[in-house]
Structure 1
Amino acid sequence: MLSEIEQRIKAKIEAVGTPLKDWDIAINYGIKTGFNDAFIIDGAKRAELLNEDPKSAEVIRPILRGRDIKRYGYDFADLWLINIHNGIKEKGIRPIIISDYPAIKRHLDKFWPELEKRLDKGLTPYNLRNCAYIEDFNRQKIVWGNLNLSASYAIAEEGLFVNAPCPMIVPASKYLLAILNSEVADYYIRKLGVTRNGGYFEYKPMFIEQLPVPLIAAPLQQGILDQAERLIEKVGKGESVKQEQQLLNEMIFQLYSLTPEEIEFIEQSQHSQIQ
């Protein structure tokens, strides 16, 4: 049962926002390999494969894990996905044929027993499982770790994959990124599930898609977008963004027409989650 102030906050958020499930976006999980030890390699192995057969570069893509993703940025760990995808029949995209990439085949053959018995496989044990949205990895996307202490969303560039169970949103929007990383959104989303011991929360798509967000149009929304762009730039330079994040939070509190009392309640609630 929600308290009176919780009911007021919930009503205000839902009054001005449109649930993300009703936006023209797609929310999906990252790529599933069924056996990461074979399909996710480090930079040294990538260099080795490219030295053996330069054509291997055609199907090796950079990939992020949940632990690599931070709020407004990420730390690339020099990990790479061997993207032997299964194609998309409906779009005329053919499956990757492993014999076209002999160096990669020799690498994967070392893991044949595991590849053969895994459930997440495609046309052959070398192929990844069907992924209808495989092309979305070639677009900008909002990504986040599935399990986190607090909101930690970032934008991943075109061609950068993310490993399941990390989810992603396509197309990316810096305005939406700012909202998701705000205290208001995190407060609302965490009310939809159960927080684990230590303050950890599972940020599943089924929760994220319920978040009501005002469509970008008014000057305040544009101000949030502009501030988010400045913040992302500073994160990329490794600079402190504490002041910028606070300003964004204040703007988003205003976007949802929250009172000082309601803001204080949200801030205290968020702080207590990770104690």
Structure 2
Amino acid sequence: MGVNARRRVIADDLVTEMRTIAAQHRFFHWEIGFPNVWSNLLSTQPAGGFDAVIGNPPYVRQELLGETKPALKKAYRAYDGMADIYVYFYEQGLRLLRPGGRMSYVVTNKWLKAGYAEALRDLFTDPARAKLEFVADFGHAKHFFPDADVFPSVVVVRKPVLSAAFPVSDAGNTPAPTAQICVIPRDLVPEKGLSAAVAEASYPLPLALFSKESWTLEPPAVIALLEKIRRNGVPMAEYAGVKPYRGVLTGFNEAFLINTATRDQLVRDDPKCADIIKPYLRGQDIERWSASWDGLWMIFARRGIDISKFPSIKQHLECYRPQLEPKPVNWKPTIPGEEWPGRKDGSYKWFEIQDSIEYYLEFEKHKIIYQEIQYSPLYAYDSTGLFGNNKTFLIAKRDQYLLAALNSPLMWWHNWRYLPHMKDEALTPVGVKMESLPIAQVNYDCAATAEDYVAQILTLMPKKREPATALMDWLRVEFGLDRPGRQLAEAHRLDADAFVAVVRAALPKRQKLSAADVARLRGEWIDTVAPARAAADEILALERRLADLVNAAYGLSPDEVKLMWQTAPPRMPLNPSEELRRLGLQ
């Protein structure tokens, strides 16, 4: 038997044995499964690989990877304890390529900015391991996968050629100075003709712009403006001298969050408990510039409280004791699937709120409050000591210019590209991101002007908001409209004719408006809606002045202001087309 024949016999025996072991242990060994794709199988690092690896990796949250994490940490450079399993599919895909081969996946866009994908981004930008060629981000485009709620992105990465031993052209071995980038907002992603839309929307970006830090997929001019905003600002925590704090996490809201009737009964039974029942806001109560308190209260039984001093509250909480008990450290289920009925383990007592909230005094100060999930820039000022639930954040700073900057179109434009995106393109202002938010410093005169404009807005807000409540009551009583709809809830946007038309459309078809009804509606518009409409117009004029002031504070040129409005994200606080006309920048 010749040498080559003996080698083939040995190779066949080895492959057969390895397949037997793989079947026994139920793992997939790529070199065994595709022996013709690799050479030097006896080596610790077989050579070869696939020309292309494509796929749509599975999503498995890190909480479900517990027992596997030690092995993943040992095996993958991209490992992060908080990473979804698709991160490791990326690295595995790169490993399976031959030098010069390409990998392309359709996967969630979270890896572009998520902290857990920092090592993955570092891998993609390591010229010895990968060469980024193309990235497309389609936002929250739902029709790609109708049965799944995803944020689809596509990436193409090439494995670099580090040796002349493989048949790859010289062109493939030359590092590309740029990568092609495509960003199409979800509402503009076509169901047909996607290739043409991608080709039209793509543009090159220098590879030098990509690192392990969060990736910004924007044209060069937009990136330059982002850099200018960051360069002309200081981190918000440094500017304000305080960091944002989250609202109160009780661990069981049904016990600690109460309405006014329950609060009044508890106080009647024990007047002392008024001291620890605080008015609070939900995220949904926070509006632009100011908040609307809905008559809700929080039993603020913080760590160390002597609950025996507040008997009515103790009696109230006793009704929920099984759900309030903290989970014992040594608790184990007695039957399969059994779950602890109370709250998570911790050093708190059953009658105490779950978080320690050592910063609770900050709630009683003048402050800026905002939502945990943002669909638009809604930052409000509170001087009344309102607490907030865990869907809110606060900045304990009496600074109207800061409030103006946070509510400005420029900051929403920046944050759309800076803050993490959630379902339906909501933004989440996570703590560390907000601490680093660039705030332009201004002189005394500028700050005083901003304070004056904001004070006027805060005075006008009740004139805009309160008539809406009165109008809803009037429509319910006079016309039986229990659910008047969003347009009537924002009736200040309607002129008299539109107001009558919207009311007519909201009524049941069998209910016709008489001439007298129309006259009453027009009269109500004059008495209630017109004043709110006037207040809204004054607020709009003041917001425009503040927007110009903030743009100037960051040193924006007319061309940069034009660029901001031309590349405006959804839900800008002012209308981009109207602002371009107002500023003469069409």
Normalising by structure 2, what TM-score?
0.43
Contact 2:404/2:454 (<8 A) preserved: yes
Q: CA deviation at 1:195?
A: 3.0
1:6 paired to 2:232: no
RMSD: 1.9
Q: Name the counterpart of 2:474.
A: none
- Indicate whether 1:42 and 2:259 are aligned: yes
1:118 aligned to 2:118?
A: no
1:273, CA displacement in angstroms?
A: 5.7
Residue pair 1:62, 1:81 contacting (<8 A) in 2 also: yes
> What residue is the counterpart of 2:11 in the other structure?
none
Tell me how far apart the structure 1 counterparts of residues 540 and 569 of structure 2 sit (CA, whole Å).
Answer: 16
Pair 1:147–1:55, CA change in 2 (3 A): same
Distance 2:288 2:347 in 1: 34
1:106 is the counterpart of 2:353: no
The answer to whether residue 318 in structure 2 is matched with residue 20 in structure 1 is no
| Offset of residue 121 of structure 1 | 6.1
Q: Deviations over 1:21-75 (max 9, x none)?
A: 3231121101110011100000010011111111110110100000000010111
- How many correspondences in the alignment? 266
Contact 1:140–1:171 (Cα < 8 Å) also in 2? yes
Corresponding residue for residue 188 of structure 1: 414
Q: Alignment identity in percent?
A: 27
Distance across 1 between alignment mates of 2:451 and 2:248: 29
- Aligned-pair CA distance for 1:156: 2.0
Partner of 1:66: 283
Report which stretch shifted further, 25-34 or 188-197: 188-197
Seen in structure 2, the aligned counterparts of structure 1 residues 261 and 196 have a Cα distance that, compared at 3 Å, is farther
Cα distance in 1 for residues equivalent to 2:566 and 2:299 = 45
CA offsets 1:64-90 (integer angstroms, 9 cap, x no match):
00000001011111000101111xxxx
- Whose RCO is larger (CA < 8 A, sep 6+)? 1
Q: Superposition pairs for residues 46-57 of structure 1, below 5 Å?
A: 46-57=263-274
Could you tell me which residue of structure 1 aligns to residue 388 of structure 2? 162
| 1:71-115 Cα shifts (integer Å, max 9, x gaps) | 1011111000101111xxxxxxxx211111111111111110110
Alpha-carbon separation, structure 2, partners of 1:150 and 1:47: 35
Give the conservation status (yes or no) of the 8 Å contact 2:400–2:451: yes
User: Structure 1: how far apart are the matches of 2:392 and 2:345?
Assistant: 16
Match of 2:298 in 1: 81
Letter in structure 2 aligned against 1:17? G
Q: Which runs of 4+ in 1 moved over 6 A?
A: none
8 Å Cα contact 2:373-2:391 kept in structure 1: no
Q: Residue 234 and residue 122 in structure 1: after superposition, are their counterparts in 2 closer, same or farther (change >3 A)?
A: farther
Q: Which moved more, 1:235-244 or 1:68-77?
A: 235-244
1:207, CA displacement in angstroms?
2.2
Give yes or no for contact 2:400–2:454 (8 Å, CA) kept in 1: yes
2:562 to 240, 264, 268: 264
TM-score (norm 1): 0.90
Asked if the contact 1:60–1:80 (Cα under 8 Å) also holds between the matched residues in 2, the reply is yes
Question: Structure 1's 268 and 106: CA in aligned 2 closer, same or farther, altered over 3 A?
Answer: farther
Which structure has the greater CA radius of gyration? 2
Q: 1:252 to 1:43 in 2, by over 3 A?
A: same
Verify the 8 A CA contact 1:185 1:211 in the aligned structure 2.
Answer: no
Which stretches in structure 2 are left out of the alignment for 5+ residues? 1-216, 326-341, 465-534, 573-586
Q: Tell me the equivalent position of 1:33.
A: 250
Q: Give the aligned partner of residue 549 of structure 2.
A: 251
Distance 1:8 1:42 in 2: 50
For residue 243 of structure 1, report the CA deviation from its aligned partner: 1.4
Instruction: Note closer, same or farther for the CA distance 1:121–1:71 as it changes in structure 2 (3 Å cut).
Output: farther
2 CA distance for matches of 1:28 and 1:267? 32
- For 1:9 and 1:228, the matched residues in 2 are separated by 26
Write the letter of the residue equivalent to 1:228. Answer: V
